[in-house]
Structure 1
């Protein structure tokens, strides 16, 4: 299980525990043995490593990702991922505005992925990514008909398909009372 559980929801923590508990039964190898195998991988990119474990060793997707997380925890450094993604100071300020607001809504887990920042309770209800030269895109688990500011996603996003509405935030000021209310409503769906 990941050593830093603060960025995981309770549901995610239970999932990691179940994968870990069943790994040896399903594969015949302990987690330590899988970690040793993963470290012999000739690739250095996470997706190539995952594909290698699947193709060469028969691991399924979730098991492969779990093993890689344990073998290469530095690849999941949330701070480094956030800094790499949110380089633009204005977009970063918008992210921080949303993150600070999320703290006022009770227990919300803010998780960092390579291409977006996720907001979850039991499940993900919002996510954000920077948009070059345009600010940040906030995806929400809401019906786009709720507000004229919401639009259905115009392209497939790497975040959860449950997020069915987006709002473009050109700067932190755009995360105004209405946008905050939409975020709050989405948080009730997570």
Structure 2
């Protein structure tokens, strides 16, 4: 996969990520090197502004644009430094305790893949089954379960972490990661 791919991916995600690169020239008519040259000419400096510019001016979608920028500016590639992403995201001690409790809850699940992203920590098996994101006053736990699975779950309209995560609950402290939450995590894992 190389250094310009996210770490903490499932085998399925790794194949998909590789397909982004493989299909770039075939589907756009430009090589990776051509796209890198275009990316280096981008007047924007922030990641979201860069990908918006790439789509607006060159028609390149988010996933491909993100990949191209990671190659064009490897020193700014956050994917290759998951520990740095984690430290930055989980600075608050209370939120970090919630993350540790969730990691302990899923730690014994077979085939577990933990992936650190910019805004959340993902938990996968073959596919993503949960994610945890810090929010004001705690953390939001997204699960790949129907929201009506349990009364404590609410539906997720759009949270940006995965279309598979359709239920969500808010955790105010690590003490709220009870056996019930562990059972919901295991149920989501079993479906993945």
Specify the SS of the correspondent of 1:79. helix
Q: How many residues align?
A: 188
Tell me the alpha carbon deviations over residues 106-145 of structure 1, each in whole angstroms, 9 at most, x when there is no partner.
2222222222221122222111111212x21111111233
Match for residue 137 of structure 1 among 120, 135, 140: 140
Specify the SS of the correspondent of 2:154. coil
Q: Is 1:117 aligned with 2:114? A: no
Tell me the alpha carbon deviations over residues 65-117 of structure 1, each in whole angstroms, 9 at most, x when there is no partner.
22123223423332222222222101111102212332310222222222222
Structure 2: 5+ residue runs without aligned partners? Answer: none
Match for residue 184 of structure 2 among 173, 178, 182: 182
Structure 1: 5+ residue runs without aligned partners? Answer: none
Q: Is 1:106 aligned with 2:110? A: yes
For the residues of structure 2 that align with 1:164 and 1:26, how far apart are their CA atoms? 31
CA RMSD of aligned residues (A): 2.1
Q: State the TM-score, normalizing by the size of structure 1.
A: 0.86
For the residues of structure 1 that align with 2:96 and 2:181, how far apart are their CA atoms? 17
**Which structure 1 residue ranges, 4+ long, deviate > 6 Å from structure 2?**
none
Q: State the TM-score, normalizing by the size of structure 2.
A: 0.86
